[in-house]
Structure 1
């Protein structure tokens, strides 16, 4: 009789935990869906900034060794470099970006060696937003001209206000950045 009683209590406990787990999952799904809708609204305003936190260069082994030597004792590695302060800003029909660059330049151009980062400002030649409802993310792709070269920028935006950005150029190795999504009006409030 005691064994049956213990089995019944154990069975009820399992059912209760399973029910609570599915309730949390439903709540988490609802929250993520709500966040995804808010993200879509923000992207539709074309008034947001990607506050870039880290750069992830795609380097050859030789460049990685040099980078590791230069970054020694800084808290960075060749694969992850803190670039707090870098950004990509979307403002209606224009975009502006100021990003540090770590990697190989394939073609020497008229770049100022003191400012070899990725900088652009102006109206993109293409701008496309793609929605993946199943995986709940937005992808924004645009092409924009800098002073000396053109860039292809691919931003993947997530409901938790995180973003991954890839920048491609004909003259440089690709680089990835990670950062946070901020509404431009929120950014202006924090500056005041």
Structure 2
């Protein structure tokens, strides 16, 4: 008798913990995202930068050198100009960089930000119909640095940017997706 009850409880727990295979229904916001992606006309303005935590970043955080409300692994960008724009076949970005440089940089470098503009290589957009989100991947370079960029665009018009560089540690940004045509 106890065995039957135990098996019944186990089956009930397995059934209750099963993942849902339901797809999310399109909303007005996801329709707006679909339109921006279809026209390749959008930008992400980031509110947060999330650098890779290293001993150096931890030391800077402990010294209190980050803006108020920030920590070493999550730095507010509110009030700092930044963007990543996709317009037609070209992309451009100006993203403040917090983290460690592995090499390079040069003496005549005027900015420490991640900055690029041009036509990317291997530009790819994939839609996840289950949650109505998009994954965007591309590679681009500036004069001395190569970037591997991955975007995750959500139907609530929030976005995430992940930048891997040939000269810097990885960093991630999160913010709002906006239509460039509205500006």
Q: What TM-score comes out, normalization by structure 2 length?
A: 0.79
Q: Deviations over 1:1-55 (max 9, x none)?
A: xxxxxxxxxxxxxxxxxxxxxxxxxxxx54x544323312211101111011110
* 1:143/1:153 contact within 8 Å kept: yes
> 1:62 deviation in Å?
3.5
Residue 39 (structure 2) aligned to one of 38, 45, 63:
45
Question: How has the CA–CA distance of structure 1 residues 57 and 151 changed in structure 2, closer, same or farther, with 3 Å as cutoff?
Answer: same
What SS does the corresponding residue of 1:64 show, helix, strand or coil?
Answer: helix
Unaligned segments of structure 1, at least 5 residues: 1-28
Q: Relative to structure 1, is the Cα distance of residues 143 and 122 closer, same or farther in structure 2, using a 3 angstrom cutoff?
A: same
Deviating above 4 A after TM superposition, structure 1's stretches of 4 or more consecutive aligned residues are 111-114
- Contact kept, 8 Å, 1:59 with 1:173, in 2: the verdict is no
Name 2:15's counterpart in structure 1: none
* Equivalent residue, structure 2, for 1:60: 54
Does 1:153 pair with 2:155? no
* TM-score when normalising by structure 1: 0.75
User: Which residue number in structure 2 is paired with residue 98 of structure 1?
Assistant: 94
Give yes or no for contact 1:71–1:78 (8 Å, CA) kept in 2. no
SS at match of 1:177: strand
- Decide whether the 8 Å contact of 1:162 with 1:181 is kept in 2: yes
The residue matched to 2:82 in structure 1 has which SS? Answer: strand
Partner of 1:132: 128
Q: Match of 2:112, SS?
A: coil
Once the two structures are TM-superposed, the CA of residue 102 in structure 1 deviates from its matched residue by 0.7
More helix by share: 1
SS at 1:79 equivalent: coil
CA 1:76–1:95 in 2, change beyond 3 Å: closer, same or farther? same
Matches within 5 A, 1:1-192: 30=25, 32-71=26-65, 74-84=68-78, 85-110=81-106, 112=108, 114-186=110-182, 188=183
Q: Which residue of 2 aligns with 1:11?
A: none
Q: Residues 55-88 of structure 1: CA distance to partner in whole angstroms, max 9, x if unpaired?
A: 0011213322223414256222111112232100
- Conserved in 2, the CA contact under 8 Å of 1:59 and 1:104? no
